[in-house]
Amino acid sequence: MELYELTAHELADLKKENKVSSSEIAYSFLKRIRAVNAKINVFVDYDENKVLEDLKDIEGGKKEESILSGIPIAVKDNMCTKRYKTTCCSKILGDFVPPYNATVVEKLNENGNPILGKLNMDEFAMGSSNENSYFKETKNPWNLERVTGGSSGGSAASVSSGCSVISLGSDTGGSIRQPAAFCGVVGLKPTYGLVSRYGLVAFASSLDQIGPLTKDVTDSALALNIISGYDKKDSTSLKHKKQDYTKALVNDVKGIKIGVPKEYLSDGINNEVKKAVLDSLELLKSLGAEWDEISIPLTEYAIPAYYLISSAEASSNLARYDGVKYGYRADDYDDLLDLYKKTRSEGFGAEVKRRIMLGTYALSSGYYDAYYKKALQVRTLIKKDFDLAFEKYDVILGPTTPTTAYKIGEKIDNPLEMYLGDIYTVSVNIAGLPGMSIPCGFDNNKLPIGMQLISKPLAEDKIFRVAYTFEQNTEFHKERPKL
């Protein structure tokens, strides 16, 4: 078995036993990237020399901080990196190289984790299929004709394909969990504020959250240990006592109470996805968990509320890209207003323009109360639905997505249909909750199926416990695509 096929904790064990070096691990991933990146388009910027330079300090013993030190990690192209371009996979950012690192990147540096490179994504994290990248769409390692999901499609596919063992993605309405489900990996969206957003290029500031994508639940806990923690540079960062999430990795769900929203298993869900989730519930029940059908009544309003809130915030956040300070600038313009207009028209893709226009409309005079304010009120009610559920249940369980990965090009011209694919994930961001997608089966086309676990704020330990128990009693997470 090649090193790139192992999990991070398996690599760490080999390293601890002096059976492999950090350089050998890095070379294995770099070789894998050379072999398959052209097929699936997961990396948009990587440099072997930079990776090897980073290893000099690590192998010199200067940065040995945790069991994962020396293991390379890849990051999504919307996290600022001083040594790599940060383009958000958009033409408008051109060859922009930030003057500073995102806090999560600094944490990886301090922990001795070389950055493998920057991963493909939907432009400015707007999309559910990774077809909106300015460069190229990322292809699903399980079937090259299928999408990876988005917007962290490159992050999910890099782990699934063996190009990285851990990657970082961002999740605004399911952008970690949905591609994790489509690519058959573990994707964690932490509690809002648990991981610093400093240096994450903003899409929707009240919803965005950085999280890890990994091959198994143990790696997810180890990665969260590194990247979580209070950051004074982020005004939304939580002052929360640092935890060791590996302590929650217990193969036992006795006494755990699981709520299953009837809205998540009703019309619109693929039968194979529904069966895989129900079979998973029966397994957890046989292991000692209890589950009941519950209701999250406002589920149907989550999509419109999410797209109004996120588009309004995007309209504000993306106003800074004007061709003046950095990034792309139109060549031919008459005056300042013409420069703004042409730069933004030429620099932004269709989906980004669509959301900016929707958000600007929702914030405009005469429509603010009818749309944006109403969406914020619905947000409060959705959060109350979850608060009520968590008074009785430890975890809410359901499918991550209504279907498995669809074909590239199948929904790109029907954005509303694509938006509905986020029906089970957007509520988590609206309410600021932690959520995780784990593999729970395969459909008849050998495409992965994801199961989502949700808990109350800062109760990641409950999610890890249930996910780890499920994983220890199944083999789905061990399946790998053949590229």
For residue 151, give Cα distances in angstroms to 123, 130, 147, 319, 393.
8, 6, 11, 21, 30
DSSP H or E segment with residue 469: helix 460-472
Closest CA to 23 of 2, 61, 54, 45: 54
- Letter for the amino acid at 434? P
State how far the Cα of 199 lies from the Cα of 483, in Å rounded to an integer.
34
Closest CA to 280 of 400, 472, 441: 441
DSSP H or E segment with residue 171: strand 166-171
Residues annotated as catalytic are 76, 151, 175
State how far the Cα of 218 lies from the Cα of 197, in Å rounded to an integer.
23
DSSP H or E segment with residue 426: helix 426-430
Within 10 angstroms of residue 288's Cβ, the number of other Cβ atoms is: 12
Q: Are 457 and 451 contacting, i.e. CB atoms less than 8 angstroms apart?
A: no
Within 10 angstroms of residue 123's Cβ, the number of other Cβ atoms is: 28
Contacts of 266 by beta carbon, 8 Å cutoff, 6+ apart: none
State how far the Cα of 259 lies from the Cα of 254, in Å rounded to an integer.
15
DSSP 265-325: GSTTS-HHHHHHHHHHHHHHHHTT-EEEEE--TTHHHHHHHHHHHHHHHHHHHGGG-SSSS
Residue entry with tokens 């001083």: 82
Closest CA to 261 of 463, 86, 425: 425
